[in-house]
Chain A
Amino acid sequence: MVGPLHYLFLAAALFALGGIGVVLRRNALIVLMSIELMLNAVNLTFLTFSRFPLAKSAPTQAGFLAGHTAAFFVIAVAAAEAAVGLAIVIAIFRSRTSVNVDEFDTLKF
C-alpha cells in the first residue's frame, strides 16, 4: 500500500538532491533548477499531508485544502523567483560572459 511515508521519502530525497545541487553545482542555471527541485519537493510534502492528514477528524473531506492552497502559493512564488533569478543570471552573463557560480565572489569583505 502506498502510504504517506512513501511520498515523504520521495519528497525528502528530492529536497536533498536539490539542496546538494544548490550547494555543489557550478552552473548558475543548474543551481536555479535545483532550487526548483527543492520547491517541488516542498509542494509534494504539502500535498502529502493534505491527502493524509495527521488529525483523525477533519471538518470536510476537502477541509485540508490548506496544503493545496500552500502548493499554489509555492508554485506562484517559484515562478516569480525563477523569472527574477534568470534575469539576474542573464545580467551577470552580459558583463562576465560566464555562468560559473564560483566566479561570482564579490559579495565579501
Chain B
Amino acid sequence: MEVSWLYLVPLLPLVGAAVNGILGRWLPKAWVYAVALLVVALSFCIGVFGWFQVARLEGETAQVRQLVYTWLATGSLRVDLGLTLDRLSGTMVLVVTGVGFLIHLYSVGYMDEDPAYWRYFSYLNLFVSMMLLLVLSDNLVAMFVGWEGVGLCSYLLIGFWYDDESKAYAGRKAFVVNRIGDFGFLIGIFVLYFYTGQVSFHTLRVAPLSLGVASAAAALLFVGATGKSAQLPLYVWLPDAMAGPTPVSALIHAATMVTAGVYMVARLSFLYVQAPGVMALVAVVGVLTALMAALIGTAQMDIKRVLAYSTVSQLGYMFVGVGVGAFAAGTAHLITHAFFKACLFLGSGAVIHGLHGEQDMARMGGLRRGGLQHTAITFFIATVAITGILPISGFFSKDEILAQALNTRAFDFLTLLPDPGSPRLTFLGPTIYVVGTLTALITSFYMWRCYLLTFEGEYRGPADVHPHEAPWVMTLPLWVLAALSVVGALIVLPAHDLSFTWERFTEGLFARPRGGPAAERIPELVAFGIALVVAWMGLASAWSLYAPGRGLAGDERLGRAIPRLRTALANNLYVDQLYDRMVTRPLWALARGLWRVVDATLIDGLLVNGTAQLVAAIGSVARRFQNGDVQRYAAVTAVGVLILVYVFLVRG
C-alpha cells in the first residue's frame, strides 16, 4: 500500500538533530529537550499508526510503502530512497522510537549538568533518524546509508567527551572496526548486483541465484553484520564503547544499533536460506561469540563492561536464532533483549549517576537498601528476564532459540567437507544447543554476580560518597522498561495457536530454511525444564560465591582456584593485544616503511631528484668548455667551419 507520510518517520528526528545541532547552543534548555523528545515521540506515533495498518492487513500485502525519490540512477543501477514498513520493520520502528524515547527522557536527567547537552541530543536524534532509515529502507544501498549513519553517530557519541584521549580513541576504534565490516557489506552488495542487476529487496527476493553466488553474498554481508553487531572477530569495539555516556550505551550498544546485523540477516532471510553453509557459519559464530563473551563477562569489575559483554553474548544468541533458520525466534529475542538490556544499562547509569561517576563494582554494594530502591528493583526484574529464572520475556525468547537450534533440520544435508562421503552436520544443531545452554548457565552466573555485587551486601565505597536515587525522569523509563520486560513475555509465549505471538505475527515474512520443519528431538516441556534448571544453577553458584555479606570474597576464591584463566578473562582473553600486534602495529610500520623506503628514497630520491642531479652533473662537466677564453671560442669556431666546408664541398 503506497502512502505519502512514511518519510516523516526518519525525517523528523533528522530535523530535530539539525535544529539542535545548529541552534542548540543558543536555545533555552527546555526548548532543546522539547525538540529532541517531540520528534522522537512524533515518529513513534506515526510508527504506531503504520503498525496498526500492517497489523490489519494480511499476508503479502501487509506493507506500507513510500518511494521518496530516485537517489541514483546510472547505467543499469537504480537506487531509490524507498521505505517499506511491514510487520518486521514496523515493530522495529516501535522498538527504536519507543525505547529511544524512553532513553531520551532518561538523558534529560542524566546529561542535565553537562554543558554540551545540546550536542548530545542532536547526535542522539541523528542516531534515531539513521536507525529508522536502516530499518525502513527497501534496498541494500539505502540500508547501507543508515548502516554507516548509525556508525557515525556511534563514533560521535562514544567520543562525546572528546577531551579525554582514550574516549576519543574508543570512538575511532568503533568506527574503524565497523568500517572493516562495512567493507564486507559493500562487496556483498556488489556481488548481488553483479549477478542479478538488482539491489532492492523485493526484486532480489525473486532473482535466481546459484549456490555459490548466494553463499558469497550472504557470507560477505554477514561480515558486515559481525562488525556492526559485535560478533567474532569484530566485537572488540563494543567493550571500549562504554566510554560514552551510559544512555548511549543503552540505546546504541544494546537496544538498537548492534541489532542491525541481526535485522539485516532476518530481512534477507530469502538469501540466507539459499546458502545453508553460510547459515551454519552464522550459527557457529553466534554461539562461539556468546560463550566467549559470557566467560569474559564473569571476570569484569566495571559494571558497564559486564553489560557490554552480556550484550555481545546475547547478540550471539540472536545470530544462533537466525542461523538455524528460526528467524522469528531470533528477532523476538532482539525485541525482548532491547527491553531488558536497556533497562539494565539505564539502571547501571542510575547507579553511576547516584554514586557520582563510580563504575567499579568493587566500590559498590548494598545499594538496594542504600538509597537506590527503584533502580535495584528494576535491575532485579531485568536480571530475572535475562537469566530466565522465571518465565518472563527473556526466558521464553532465549529458550525458543535454543529449542530451535536443537530441533533444526537446516543443516541435515550439509556435510563437514566438500566431499560427499564426509559426515553430515546433523549434529551441529544439538551441539549448538549444548553450548548455548552452557552459556545460559554462565550468563545466569555473571548477571547475578553483577546484581549481588552492586545492590546487595555492604557498601564498599568511599565514605564521602552518598548514593542517591535518580530523579523521576530517569526512574520512570526504568519502570517502563522493566514492565515491558515482563509483559514482553506475551509475544514470545511458545503456545503456537495464540494469535498475538511474534511467531504468528511474522508468519510468511521469513523464508523457510531447506530441510523442512524442525523435528522435535526433546519434548518441549523437558527443554523448558532444562533451561530453568540451568538458570537456577547459575543463580545458585553466584549466590554461593557472592551472597550478601561475602562481598568480593567470591572473586578472590575464584582467583585462587583458576588464577591464570581468571586474569586472562579479566584481560579480555588478550584479544585486543593480539589485534594490536598482528594488525595495527604492522600496518603502521608498513606505512612508515613504505614512506621512508619507497617514496622518500626510491621514487623521490633516486628517480626524481636523481634525474635532476644527473642533469646537473652532466651540466657541470659540459660547462667546462665555456671557460671564458675567447681565443678558444674562436678556435672552435674555425674548426667547425672547416668541418662544414669539408662536408659541403667534398661530400656534397
Chain A residues with a Cβ under 8 A of chain B: 19, 22-24, 31, 101-102, 104-109
Q: How long is the Cα–Cα vector from A19 to B623 in the complex, in angstroms? A: 25
In the complex where A19-B638, A23-B638 touch, is A108 in contact with B631 (Cβ < 8 A)? no
Chain A residue contacts of B626, Cβ below 8 A: 107-109
A-B contact pairs, 14 of them (CB 8 A): A22-B631, A22-B634, A23-B632, A23-B638, A101-B630, A101-B631, A105-B628, A106-B628, A107-B626, A107-B630, A108-B623, A108-B627, A109-B623, A109-B626
Rounded to whole angstroms, the CA-CA distance of A105 and B629 in the bound complex is 5
* Proximity bits, B611-636, A CB within 8 Å = 1, else 0: 00000000000010011111111110
In whole angstroms, how far apart are the Cα atoms of A107 and B625 in the complex? 12
Q: Are B631 and A107 touching (Cβ within 8 A)?
A: no
Rounded to whole angstroms, the CA-CA distance of A6 and B632 in the bound complex is 31
Check B635–A105 contact: CB distance below 8 A: no
- B residues contacting A by CB (< 8 A) are 623, 626-635, 638
Q: Enumerate the 9 nearest inter-chain pairs by beta-carbon distance, A residue then B residue, closest first.
A: A105-B628, A108-B628, A23-B635, A109-B623, A108-B626, A23-B631, A107-B628, A109-B626, A22-B634
A23: B residues at CB distance < 8 A: 631-632, 634-635, 638
Interface contacts (Cβ under 8 Å), in number, total 30
Q: Cβ of A24 and Cβ of B623 under 8 Å apart? A: no
* Chain B residues, Cβ within 8 Å of A101: 629-631
Q: 19 more A-B contacts (CB under 8 A) besides A101-B631, A108-B623?
A: A19-B638, A22-B631, A22-B634, A23-B631, A23-B632, A23-B635, A31-B631, A101-B629, A101-B630, A104-B628, A104-B630, A105-B627, A105-B628, A105-B629, A107-B628, A107-B630, A108-B626, A108-B628, A109-B626
Q: Which residues of B contact A104 (CB under 8 A)?
A: 628, 630
Output the least CB separation between A52 and chain B (Å).
20
User: Contact at A102–B629, with CB atoms within 8 Å?
Assistant: yes
Please report the C-alpha to C-alpha distance between residue A102 and residue B633 in the assembled complex, in whole angstroms: 12
Residue numbers in B under 8 Å from A109 (CB-CB): 623, 626
- Which of chain A's residues has its CB closest to B636's CB? A23
In the complex, how many angstroms separate the beta carbon of A38 from the nearest chain B beta carbon? 10
CA of A76 to CA of B626, assembled, Å = 32
Residue of B nearest to A22 (CB): B634
Task: List the A side residues contacting B632 at CB < 8 Å.
Answer: 23
Q: How far is the CB of A59 from chain B (nearest CB, A)?
A: 27
- Give Cα A2–Cα B365 distance, bound, in whole angstroms: 138
Closest to A102 in B: B629
By a CB distance below 8 angstroms, the chain B residues around A24 are: 631
